[in-house]
Amino acid sequence: MTGILAVAKPCSIIVEVKELFGSESKSQVYAHLHELLLKPTLKDIPVETICYDDACHLKKFAQNKTRCLLTATSQRMAKMTMVVDQFHFKNHVDSWCKQNCNPYSSDDLQEVNTEVCEQLFAWLSRFPRMTKHMNRWRFLFIILYVLDKHNENVKQKLLE
């Protein structure tokens, strides 16, 4: 079983796509974000907020007392603001989550499309008939190709 983790900007530009093995776990998401933040293109860019459907668990994972001291990037991730995207927040009933991962409590996020990945996956779900019977490598090739074309279309619209 294979899936993907997509990292996108609020404008819908996909910054990174990583393969997920089995089900989506906190450790896989954390490892992929850690690796992404190490890239030279993002190392010094002030990424301050992560919007993710399970941000409450990811935030606790990142703030683990041992884990957050392992690298400079893990220290950076432990200090980042992590919020649940607005689409999923209504399902988060835990008081810790409501207090620490509320996307509505940040003035900086009021005009931000926090649901961009949900919108991308809704759009991408139109392709399952095409990919249903593919092996892992063909699936990943087609997904990367489709997402690359998506980025080209978004960039063209932004330039218009």
Task: Report how far residue 141's alpha carbon sits from residue 146's, in angstroms, rounded to the nearest whole number.
Answer: 9
Domain that holds residue 70: 24-111
What is the tens place of the pLDDT at every residue in 8-67?
A: 888 888 888 888 877 788 888 899 989 888 887 765 567 788 888 888 999 999 999 999
Count of domains for the chain? 1
pLDDT at 57: 92
In a domain, 147, yes or no: no
In a domain, 145, yes or no: no
In a domain, 48, yes or no: yes
In a domain, 159, yes or no: no
What is the tens place of the pLDDT at every residue in 79-108?
A: 999 998 888 888 888 888 888 888 888 888
pLDDT at 2: 58
Is the pLDDT score of 1 beyond 60? no
- Contacts of 20-28 with C-beta under 8 Å, sequence gap 24+, read 26/54, 26/57, 26/58, 26/61, 27/61
pLDDT at 48: 82
In a domain, 146, yes or no: no
